Amino acid sequence: MTQNPDADTPSRRFTAELAEAAMAGAYDDVADALYVLARADSVHAAAGIVEDLVARCASVIQARQPAGSEAVFTVVVADGDARPVEVDRLPPGPLAALRALLAALGGDEASRAIHVELATRGTAEEVIGVVSHLLVWLVELSDRSAAALPSLSCFTR
């Protein structure tokens, strides 16, 4: 089940403010918002936020790299030192978020919904990690200074 993209829900407003803060580099505001999300301990709210961030990332990719329905997307993931990371070695939450993003790009709504649910199944700390990854990916993908789409950063403890 996906949200109506035109619906103005508290979750969508929260996500919009969170994404705007991340894009502006207002990291104290991002940290405060993530703290609120962690304290809410709501799987439903987290799923809505993850779903919206996945849609935002997919939208940025589609705007930068328009492709037909038969297009195949691949992903390159790098660690903090810009070294390639095997995608299957990502933590479960970020891996599920990445798969949700690929499903969104492929137009597979059922798979996207399953992977969003999987991405938000963990502890509050793990869900915050998923949201953090998606925010970083959104910022990276939105950087138009490079001609090609960037590698996506992955970080773990």
Residue 112, by phi and psi: left (phi above 0), alpha (psi -120 to 50) or beta?
Answer: alpha
Residue 85 pLDDT level (bands cut at 50, 70, 90): confident
35 in helix, strand or coil? helix
Q: In what order do the strands lie in the sheet with 152-153?
A: 84-85, 77-78, 152-153
Q: Give residue 123's pLDDT.
A: 92
Q: Give the domain ranges of the chain.
A: 10-153
* Tens-place pLDDT, residues 3-31: 444 457 888 899 999 999 999 999 999 99
The end-to-end CA distance of the chain, in Å, is 32
* Tens-place pLDDT, residues 39-71: 887 778 899 999 999 999 999 999 988 776 677
Express as a percent the part of the chain with pLDDT over 70. 92
Residue 150 has pLDDT above 80, yes or no: yes
* Tens-place pLDDT, residues 102-116: 999 999 999 999 999
Which residues partner with 153 through β-bridges? 78
Quote the CA–CA distance of 121 and 43 in Å, as a whole number. Answer: 7
